[in-house]
Amino acid sequence: MKQLAVVVLLALELAVLGCGSSTPTNTAPTAASGTWQAVLVGGSGEASTLNFVTTFSVNGDSSLDVTGIQFITVGPCFGAGSTAGGSLSVSNSTGVVTGPFSFSVQSGTGNTLTLAGTENGTVITGTWTLNGSGGCDDSDSTTQPSRTFTMCQGSGPCKSTA
């Protein structure tokens, strides 16, 4: 009976050791698809109030398939009929999604907001420019040289890190 108990305990120990030696799989996302909130800092006039929420997925060619964009702050620069696109070249070699990001929003009245930055996990940071008319042209960098943005993935509030 003692021999049977020893054999059972040995088999149980081997089973437990076998389970503990497996290598965990990396479950980090390979793309940054989802909902993002953008907070823009800097600019002047109407350009100083641009914040928005967007939803996109990253295609195999790194282009963005933007399925929605909603400006949080209402102003004359962007409204209904605005379209957006861009690219995000993602890398996931360290378990954290990283890569260069570009995003552009065009209004129906000819205004263009352009963002360029880098994703690092669930945050994208960089700089922005706004070209257009009707108080929506903020391309003169001598009056406001620091135009930065922070985009956060998910539904929580996003605060600028600039």
Q: What is the pLDDT of residue 144?
A: 53
Asked whether residue 47 is domain-assigned, the answer is yes
Structure tokens given for 15: 């089973």
Least-confidence region, from 14-18, 107-111, 148-152 = 14-18
DSSP SS3 for 86: strand
> Above 90 in pLDDT, residue 95?
no
Asked whether residue 159 is domain-assigned, the answer is no
Asked whether residue 63 is domain-assigned, the answer is yes
What Cα–Cα distance (Å) separates residue 60 from each residue in 4, 63, 122? 58, 7, 19
pLDDT digits (tens, 9 = 90+) for 11-68: 434 343 444 444 433 333 445 789 999 999 887 777 777 889 999 999 989 999 999 9
Res. 121 pLDDT band, cuts 50 70 90: confident
Q: What is the pLDDT of residue 102?
A: 96
What Cα–Cα distance (Å) separates residue 49 from each residue in 28, 74, 147? 34, 8, 12
CATH number at residue 111: 2.40.128
Higher pLDDT, 22 or 97: 97
Asked whether residue 15 is domain-assigned, the answer is no
pTM of the predicted model, to two decimals? 0.73
Contacts with 118 (C-beta within 8 Å, 6 or more apart), sequence order: 98, 99, 100, 101, 124, 125, 126
Asked whether residue 99 is domain-assigned, the answer is yes
Query: What range defines the domain where residue 80 resides?
Result: 34-153
pLDDT digits (tens, 9 = 90+) for 129-148: 888 877 777 766 555 557 89
Distance, first Cα to last Cα, the chain? 72
What's the structural domain count of the chain? 1
Average pLDDT in the chain: 75
> Above 90 in pLDDT, residue 150?
yes
Least-confidence region, from 15-19, 69-73, 83-87 = 15-19
Asked whether residue 24 is domain-assigned, the answer is no
Asked whether residue 122 is domain-assigned, the answer is yes
What is the radius of gyration, based on Cα positions, of the chain? Answer: 24
